[in-house]
Amino acid sequence: TTEPIVLGIESSCDETGVGIVRGNRLLANAVSSSMDEHVRFGGVIPEIAARAHLEAFVPTLQAALDTAELTLDDIDAIAVTSGPGLAGALMVGVSAAKALALATGKPLYGINHLVAHVGVGVLEGTILPPTFGALLVSGGHTEILKVTSLTNDVQLLGSTIDDAAGEAYDKTARLLGLGYPGGPAIDKAAKEGDRKAFRFPRGLTLPKFVGNEENPGKHRHNFSFSGLKTAVARCVEHFEANGEEIPVADIAASFQEAVVDVITSKAVRAMQEHGLKTVLLGGGVAANTRLRELLAARCGSAGISLVVPPFSLCTDNGGMVAALGAQLVADGVAPSGLDFATDSSQP
């Protein structure tokens, strides 16, 4: 038997991604980002992202096919992100995927973006047990997942009730005048600062949210970053009001410590509660130096193994969509047909 070749298409935010896998081997992972066009607005503008996908799709598809040295005739199935994400952006990728499926007669799978992030776990070089946990942290999501089966059993253990972690980085960086995207800027500034300079709030860690063993609180695995953002704003205002210089590096380091402390402690706790021995890290914030350091340390002490895929597979990309698509094909899951909708708020 020859392993199926699957094309994966991703367009849920600012990255146009087309990836190709054969079985569990990644053959190509072409990505075009419209981030440069959003920088001057300090955030992703949905309309601009959608237009950029329209322009970038065919060249990105061609780049992926060229890298894999394949043509569309060689593709056995097509997978595309149907949600969650920006509605207009999703529609470009899904429309393109439907057109390709209609023209080539290949089966089409509409898939969930969050599950696709976890789908990189099937690619060769990644060793995961049958049931594992995942921590996804990016500009759009902050989730803890329990993955029993990629095709039909992915459980959401916790998520943010307000801002995503990356969004908190971006908003805080703006407050500190560090530019956009804020994650890398804060990561860098924090290296010169004292992470104990300020004690910023750790969202949803109070006993009333966390509960206890008999009565677990419903927010024990959830995140909140809006209080932290406000605390940083008050801190900056305090220095401004006194005409003092803002200690940017110390604030950045202390902010980062608050985010990373909560994320890592909650992730480890969720793994322990569910008896999960392995956690996969994904999303753009996975690039964060302090997050990697503290998560590795805390997983280490808890006897949990941490899997961090290459950064190109952590940020939004088509390879992860193709990888999940290949798993669906391998598990004999029926294709989606050509009439499914996009769902920007799909859980």
How far is Cα 92 from Cα 61, in angstroms, rounded to an integer? Answer: 13
Q: Consult the annotation and say whether 138 binds a ligand.
A: yes
Is 38 marked as binding a ligand?
Answer: no
Q: Which one, 250 or 316, has the nearer CB to ligand KG4?
A: 316
**Minimum distance from CB of 270 to ligand KG4 (Å)?**
21
Q: Is 288 in the site for ligand KG4 (CB under 6 A)?
A: yes
- Least Cα distance to 266 among 200, 195, 196, 210 occurs for 210
Q: Which stretch binds Zn ion (CB under 5 A): 120-128, 233-241, 285-293, 309-317?
A: 309-317
- C-beta separation of 154 from 324 below 8 A: no
CB of 190 to ligand KG4, least distance (A): 9
**Cβ 28 vs Cβ 65: under 8 Å:** yes
C-beta atoms surrounding 179 within 10 Å: 13
Q: What DSSP assignment string belongs to 101-132?
A: HHHH---EEEEEHHHHHHHGGGSTT----SSE
316 binds ligand KG4 (CB under 6 A): yes
Q: How far is the CB of 256 from ligand KG4 (least distance, A)?
A: 8
Long-range CB contact pairs, 183-186, < 8 A, 24+: 183/139, 183/284, 183/285, 183/287, 183/288, 184/287, 186/252, 186/255, 186/256
Closer by beta carbon to ligand KG4, 13 or else 228: 13
Q: Which of residues 137-166 bind ligand KG4 (CB under 6 A)?
A: 138-140, 166
Give the CA count within 13 Å in the CB-facing half-sphere of 73.
0
Neighbouring-strand partners of residue 79: 8, 109
Residue selected from 132, 249, 316, 317 as contacting Zn ion according to rule CB under 5 A:
316
Residue 184 in contact with ligand KG4, rule: CB under 6 A: yes
- Residue length, the chain? 347
Work out the end-to-end distance of the chain between its first and last CA atoms, rounded to an integer number of angstroms.
35
Q: Would you say 77 or 112 has its CB closer to ligand KG4?
A: 112
**In the bound complex, what is the minimum distance in angstroms from residue 212's beta carbon to ligand KG4?**
32
**Window 138-157: residues binding Zn ion (CB under 5 A):** 138
The reply to whether 170 sits near ligand KG4 by the rule CB under 6 A is yes
Q: Which residues bind ligand KG4 (CB under 6 A)?
A: 13, 138-140, 166, 169-170, 181-184, 187, 283-285, 287-288, 315-316
Q: Which residues bind Zn ion (CB under 5 A)?
A: 138, 316
